Amino acid sequence: MLSSAARDVEKESKGAVAVSHDWSQVVEKDHQRIIHSLAGNATNPNIYATIFLRLGTPAEDEVINLAKTYGKTKLIEVSLSEAKSIDKLKEIAIDRANTLLTEAKNEQRVAAPYSAMVLGLECGGSDAYSGITANPALGVASDKLVAQGGTSILGETMEILGAEHLLAKRAVTPQVGQQIIDVVARYEASINYEGIDIRGAQPSRGNIEGGLSTLEEKSLGAAKKAGNAQFTGVLEYAIAPSKPGLYFMDTPGHDIEQLTGFGAANVNITVFTTGRGTPTGSAVMPTIKVATNTEMATAIPDIIDLNSGTIADGTQTLEENGELIYKLIMDVANGQLTKAELGGHHEFNLSRLYGSSL
């Protein structure tokens, strides 16, 4: 419960980014999911250093110890019980942050192979254009990256529900295909367990207003983000892939919970297709927004990086637009800022399977 202090450190330091969340630093039912989410985001390869503002609980030790096993990110702890006041905690953290920021500015870009690249594939606020414009165009870009030895991760289990049999056929082995089927069945059971028929709750009202009729229709369009490559494996939420290829990760469709899972899995950049338009971003990854239709891309240009509505307009082919997405991914990888970064968007949520009840 030190989020307000973290936000103050962001405000008063010379460029640190705060991650706000509602964890109370104690063990709850979703403990493993939470510690993997926090440790993974703290050590995302895009991050130079992470400062943990902490109380001093054993549950926090688990996050920090896991993070230490993950990567090369510098990890610094500032403890409230040692600082003895919120003001002092913030003062120490701001001081440490500014020193680290100066160090980080001296870092040089280095050439990296495609295998260092992990792309996240996401859609949110989908409409009837999603499945015929932005999603398949992103699939073109994803296929190209995977063919060059990079990694792509498709998430949103709800959004492959109804299309899982088609994805399973693309698995590298029958075992991986079965994992895709099993993860979807597990997901549907976890919702039905609550007495809710997911096919009644989805597509969302925003989706229906955008012209989508059924969850199956939404899923068939959503899965197109993953192109036509073979699936190398299935990932649990917030767990990084161990080798390059195309993966499916079991994440909620909730846009921010999905971004948190990707950020924890070493995703460098997420491409986020949207029909209705959404401004959100991540604290640890550039998030590229691709519009599915020209009308929305024109109406809210401050949150859209690239328009795939041109495919429906007939002014670009799917392949031409997919190439543009691929080029933008590479430009962003080389330092070009996304609209979400320019707007300072870095929403963050912890994903729980058991609600907020402890």
Partner 1 sequence: MSITGFAHKGRGVGVRDHQLILPSVVCSTHVSRKIANEVGAITFAHQNGCGIIGIDVPGVDNFFIDLANHPNVQSVLVVSLGCETIQGPELLPKINRELSRLLVIQESGGASGTYESGVTQAKQLRDNFKSEKAPLDKLIVGLDLSRDVPGLSAIKTALTVAGFEVVSESEKAVSEHNLSKLMSAKAQVVFSFPDENQPPSGFPLIPVINIASTSPLHMALTSEFDLAQDSTVEEIVALINAVANGQKTKSELSGIGEIVAPRSVRSV
Would you tell me which residues interact with partner 1 (CB under 8 A)?
Answer: 1-5, 8, 20, 22, 24, 26, 55-57, 80-82, 84-87, 125, 158, 190-191, 194-196, 198, 201-202, 204-207, 209-210, 252-257, 276-280, 296, 299-303, 343-347, 349-358
The HSE-up count of residue 83 (CA atoms within 13 Å, CB side) is 20
What proportions of the chain, in percent to the nearest 5, are helix, strand and coil?
A: 45, 15, 40
Tokens (6 digits) for 75: 């990890």
Shorter beta-carbon distance to partner 1: residue 3 or 336: 3
CA distance 271 to 227: 13
From the CB of 234, what's the least distance to partner 1, in Å?
19
Nearest residue (CB) to partner 1, 166 versus 196: 196
If the CB atoms of residues 61 and 87 are measured against partner 1, the closer one turns out to be: 87
Nearer to partner 1, 236 or 323 (CB): 236
CA torsion through residues 35, 38, 43, 44, sign: positive
Shortest Å distance, C-beta 137 to partner 1? 21
**Least distance in Å: CB of 22 to partner 1?**
5
Task: Tell me how far, at minimum, the Cβ of 282 lies from partner 1, in Å.
Answer: 12
Nearer to partner 1, 32 or 254 (CB): 254
Q: Please state, in angstroms and as integers, the Cα–Cα distance from residue 270 to each residue in 93, 190, 255, following that order.
A: 29, 27, 11
Please name every residue paired with 154 in a beta bridge, in sequence order, or none if there are none: 121, 248
CB of 245 to partner 1, least distance (A): 27
Give, in order, the Cα–Cα distances in Å from 96 to each of 10, 39, 91, 105.
12, 20, 9, 14
